[in-house]
Amino acid sequence: MDLQISVFLLFILFTAGHSLVCNQCPGVSSSCDQIPCPNGFPSCFAATAYIGGITSLATVKSCAPESGCPSGSVNFGAIKLSSYCCSNDLCNVQDAPDPITNTPNGNICYFCDGLNCSSILPCSGSENRCIKATGTFGGQSVGVKGCISKAFCDAASLVPNVQGISCCKGNLCNGAQSVTQSFLFLCCSLLSYFLLH
């Protein structure tokens, strides 16, 4: 009986301090490290981004905060992002799906192409919502529209400096009104939040 209690206590001792271990890849190089996640980071994630005209694909992997770790994709036309989250040691070994190769799903949303926010974008993969968001950066109001997965939409309210995030379900439900031309700042803020937090 004493042996069983000792083994049980030893088991608790060794498992209580175990933290999640995730692959961490910065996105630029192909080498990854295995890191223990700090407190408050209970998930691993992998994200793949495509920024047309600036870079092709970039993949980032790391620990994810408990405040939100969306699995899905978002598409703003020239900027696309897909990610997944998991909660086992080193479960983020695979890259997130290439956001360019997602199969169209029949949904369509408006997106901003420069000053014109009435361009139509075919949604793909799990993008079952349209998004419209505005924010203030450097004293200038900026906006963005596109296709988004429900999980990304739910996490989008956590992005700092962005107000007026609205997601809707239904073709072209995000309205065709124009927003300002500097939507790239908002896109970069959304992408950096999802990739680095």
Split into its structural domains, the chain has a count of 1
Q: The domain that contains 29 carries what CATH number?
A: 2.10.60.10
Q: How many residues does the chain have?
A: 197
Closest CA to 128 of 101, 157, 106: 106
Residue 84, Cβ density class (10 Å: 0-12 exposed, 13-18 middle, ≥19 buried): buried
Most confident of 5-9, 94-98, 123-127: 123-127
2 pLDDT above the threshold of 50 = no
Residue 6 within a domain? no
Report if pTM > 0.85.
Answer: no
Residue 95, Cβ density class (10 Å: 0-12 exposed, 13-18 middle, ≥19 buried): middle
Q: pLDDT digit string (tens) for 31-50?
A: 889 999 999 899 999 998 88
Residue 1 within a domain? no
Q: What is the mean pLDDT of residues 83-105?
A: 89
